[in-house]
Amino acid sequence: MRRLREAWQGFKVGTWLGWQIESNWTEPFLFAIYSVIKPVAGVLILVFMYLVVAQGGLQNPLFPQVFLGTTFYLYVVNVLSGISWTVTDDREHYGMLKYAYMAPMHFYGYLLGRGMAKTLVATISVLITLAFGIVFLRVQLSFRNPGLLLVGLPLGLAALAFYGILLAGVSLLIARHGWMVGDVVAGGLYLLCGTAFPLSLLPSPFRALGLGLPPTYWLEALRRALLGQGLHPELSALSDAQLLLILTGATVLGIALSVGIFRAAERVAARRGLLDMQTMY
Amino acid sequence: MAQEALAVKTEELTRVFRLRKREAREGRREILALDRVNLEVPRGELFGLLGPNGAGKTTLIKILATLLAPTSGRAFVAGVDVVANPAEVRRHINMVCGGETSGYGLLTVEENLWMFAQFYGIPSREARRRIRELLSLVGLADRAKTKVYHLSSGMRQKMNIVRGFLTDPEILFLDEPTLGLDVQTARTIREFVRNWLREHPDRTILLTTHYMHEADELCDRVAIIDRGRILACAAPSELKHMLQREAVFRLYVEGVADARAALDGMPGVRALAQEAEDGRLRLDLILAEEGVLVSVLSRLQEAGAKLAELRKEEPTLEDVFLALVGRRLTEGTP
Ligand SMILES: Nc1ncnc2c1ncn2[C@@H]1O[C@H](COP(=O)(O)OP(=O)(O)OP(=O)(O)O)[C@@H](O)[C@H]1O
Ligand SMILES: [Mg+2]
């Protein structure tokens, strides 16, 4: 009971702090760059490549699929990798990890809260990018299946947060280069999860890997919900309900793995004296 | 339970750091940072750990604060085993480390502290009241709305001190709380610590320092630590009393750069430290008794040294350290 209250406490203060850091309202210019200009610029680069490489330009039915995948991938970077960057940031940059860690609040809850803040900020970016796509790139959203969206979106976001904590555990053990964990994973998922191109373009071992990763199913569910159809023929046999079931399974697995791995990582970090390691100063 | 009366207790507490091959120091791959440390600190005490750089002070504090696991031995804080039940230990403690630049620079002083109070579940209104009160006690009230990246390092340190006391911890660890501060700020902080403990007599503070004045002035009891071992543990006056039968002298001599060769191993010379000062050589001597001084002086004369000044000193904690270790506190761990 008490532990639960401490977890809630951690979640609340983590969210507050995360929001203060991420949104940095005192510098609206920086905030605009990070949450508006950067994601939109990312999409524009994609549009440009698309016009050069693909035939039929923006009229190609593949384009909205790719646009949507890239837009929602913003969540993967911000939430999944973001949470693991938090550990490195707090430890190396702010020197605060040890204080957050030795406080009676639940550290896991605190990290979830930091993830919550990242999710909120990413949502702003995603909405702006979507609006940009609808207005300037003529992307048509159909909202064919609002149920799939309302269940699938939060389910996937929760899963991203849990796997983010798993990565945070790994970052905890990599003193100097902890941020790399988030970078490498984000890059890998971009390529493997059918974000910007169909899985069928991948060599078959990588395709199999992509089919084993939850974000693939999440993006597919979002595509079906918002565009009326998915991208990958490999997944077309799955019903919407089956997709959601897979996402639920992945989320539950994420909870179990993240709790277990984070705990183990904490123990190793305490043994090696990594919790307050500052290597850059 | 007897253990409950103790704020801190360690049993044969040992910590070994293993180094990577390329980090090896003088061929050693293992650093014995704490060597079978046994300590008992009763509640209500201001207990000091006095030792040179690298003695193991921070290592001990980190273990007690649940940030570092011991290699062997056990440690109890508020009667709770730090390894078996760290979550429970954390409800009783807080910690401040000197000489670091922790804090979220883009939050204000007040926001940083408020957030920290939230880590501990202190109700918002109570937190704000305490923040106001503590900030004005350390003389930082006018900076409450300043962003932390605009603070000088002394101001940051004051904020961190407030952070430690804000949660009203049963047991507070202060790791070199005045490190690198100017004299005035250090004094403010010492005064604040003393007053706080007077008003909260059931609270315990474990403080580390390598300033002997700080230990002498503040602490009820002091443990002298060197190379991971506790060499003595008593009230400052008792520690100095240990040297009562011995004689502590300070000599200034001219004409020699090194007096060790002449005096080392001489019967009756308990300890010797030397340092060049204004073109002369300063010698701090601890002698078994005053009578030894005569032979010391003649030995120095034979070595070509001319006596410029001679003083009999009241023993300080520095001298106690010198007598115990054979080095000065400020010399660090070789
Ligand atoms: N993470 C670590 N890895 C390797 N060696 C370490 C680590 N932390 C401390 N040590 C070593 O352990 C010994 C004790 O260090 P510790 O920091 O406890 O000393 P200290 O008494 O706090 O010194 P100071 O006055 O300089 O703060 C030193 O030799 C130090 O180099
Ligand atoms: Mg130290």
Strands (E), chain B: 6-18, 30-42, 46-50, 72-77, 80-81, 93-97, 171-175, 204-209, 221-226, 229-234, 247-254, 269-277, 280-287, 306-312
Residue B330 lies in a domain: no
Chain B residues whose CB is inside 8 A of the A110 CB are 119
Amino acid in position B83: V
Q: Given phi > 0 = left and psi -120 to 50 = alpha, else beta, which region is A57?
A: left
Residue where the block lists tokens 């039929």: A56
Give the H/E segment covering residue B106.
none
Helix B109-119 × helix B124-137 angle, to 10°: 130
A99: chain B residues, CB-CB within 8 Å:
95, 102, 116, 119, 163
Phi, psi of A127 (to 5 degrees): -65, -45
Q: What pLDDT, on the 0 to 100 scale, is given for residue B1?
A: 44
Q: Report how far apart the first and last C-alpha atoms of chain A are (Å, whole number).
A: 40
Same domain, B231 and B253: no
- Give the residue, by CA position, lying nearest to ligand 1 atom 18: B56
Residues 6+ apart with CB under 8 A from A37: none
**What CATH number corresponds to the domain at position B69?**
3.40.50.300
- Which of B83, B119, B165 should one mutate to test binding to chain A, selecting the residue with the greatest count of A CBs within 10 A? B119
Which residues are registered as beta bridge partners of B208?
B49, B175
CA A268 to chain centre: 26
pLDDT band at B264 (very low <50, low <70, confident <90, very high): confident
B206 contacts B172 by C-beta, under 8 angstroms = yes
Which amino acid would we find at residue B145? K
Query: In whole angstroms, what is the distance from residue B196 CA to residue B162 CA?
Result: 11
Strand partners, B205: B46, B172
Q: What is the pLDDT of residues B71-105, one digit of tens each?
A: 999 999 999 999 999 999 999 999 999 888 888 98
* B56 and B151 inside one domain: yes
B188 part of a folded domain:
yes
- Amino acid at the residue B205: I
DSSP strands (E only) in A98-196: none
The alpha carbon of A93 and the centre of ligand 1 are apart by a number of angstroms equal to: 21
Q: What is the ipTM of this complex?
A: 0.88
Taking alpha carbons only, the member of A76, A46, A40, A45 closest to residue A63 is A46
Tell me the backbone φ, ψ of residue B66, rounded to 5 degrees. Answer: 65, 20
Phi, psi (deg, nearest 5) at residue A52: -75, -45
Average pLDDT, chain B: 91
Q: How many domains does chain B have?
A: 2
User: d(Cα B175, Cα B161) in Å, to the nearest integer?
Assistant: 11
Asked whether residue B29 falls in the same domain as residue B77, the answer is yes
Confidence of residue A101 (pLDDT cuts 50, 70, 90): very high
Task: Read off the pLDDT of residues A164-219 as tens digits, 9 standing for 90 and up.
Answer: 999 999 999 987 787 888 889 999 999 999 998 899 999 999 999 999 999 999 99
Strands (E), B185-227: 204-209, 221-226
B2 confidence band (pLDDT: 50, 70, 90)? very low
Dihedral, CA of residue A50, residue A53, residue A56 and residue A59, to nearest 10: -10
Residue B100 burial (CB count, 10 A): 20
B120 located within any domain: yes
For residue range B46-73, list pLDDT tens digits in order. Answer: 999 999 999 999 999 999 999 999 999 9
Does B220 reach chain A within 8 Å, measured CB to CB? no
pTM (2 d.p.): 0.89
Residue with CA closest to ligand 1 atom 4: B17
By residue count, chain A amounts to: 281
Residue B27's SS3 state is coil
Cβ neighbours of A96 in B, within 8 Å: 102-104
Does B3 score more than 50 pLDDT?
Answer: no
Average pLDDT over residues B99-124: 92
Element (H, E) at A50: helix A38-53
List CB contacts of B220: < 8 A, sequence separation 6 or more: B45, B46, B47, B235
Looking at residue A132, the DSSP 8-state letter turns out to be H
Q: Distance from the CA of B58 to the center of ligand 1, in angstroms? A: 7
The DSSP secondary-structure symbol of A89 reads: I
Structural domain including B251 reads 245-314
Residue B192 within a domain: yes
Sheet containing B72-77: give its strands across.
B30-42, B6-18, B72-77, B80-81
Whether B25 contacts B43, CB under 8 Å:
no
User: What pLDDT shows up at residue B206?
Assistant: 98
- Is beta strand B280-287 parallel, antiparallel or unpaired with respect to B269-277? antiparallel
The pLDDT-based confidence of A280 (bands split at 50, 70, 90) is low
CB–CB contact A100 B100 (8 Å)? no
- Which of B37, B53, B210 best tests ligand 1's pocket when mutated (most atoms within 8 Å of CB)? B53
pLDDT band at B332 (very low <50, low <70, confident <90, very high): low
Type of residue at A6: E
Which chain A residues contact residue B111 at CB under 8 A?
20
Other beta carbons within 10 Å of A140? 10
Q: Is residue B156 part of a domain?
A: yes
Angle (CA) A17 A21 A23, round 5° = 115
Closest CA to A139 of A72, A63, A223, A214: A63
CA–chain centroid gap for A2, Å, is: 30
Q: Does residue B168 form part of some domain? A: yes
> Looking at the structure, do residues B274 and B146 belong to the same domain, yes or no?
no
Nearest chain A residue to B103, by CA: A94
In a domain, B240, yes or no: no
* Of the partner residues A6, A12, A95, the one whose CB lies closest to the CB of residue B101: A95
Give the residue extent of every domain in chain A: 2-272
Could you tell me if residue B150 is inside a domain? yes
The shortest CB-CB distance from A94 to any of B87, B104, B120 is to: B104
Domain's final residue, options B235, B262, B296: B235
Cβ separation B87–A104 shorter than 8 A: yes
Q: Is the per-residue pLDDT at B168 higher than 70?
A: yes
Give the C-alpha separation, A65 to A194, whole Å. Answer: 10
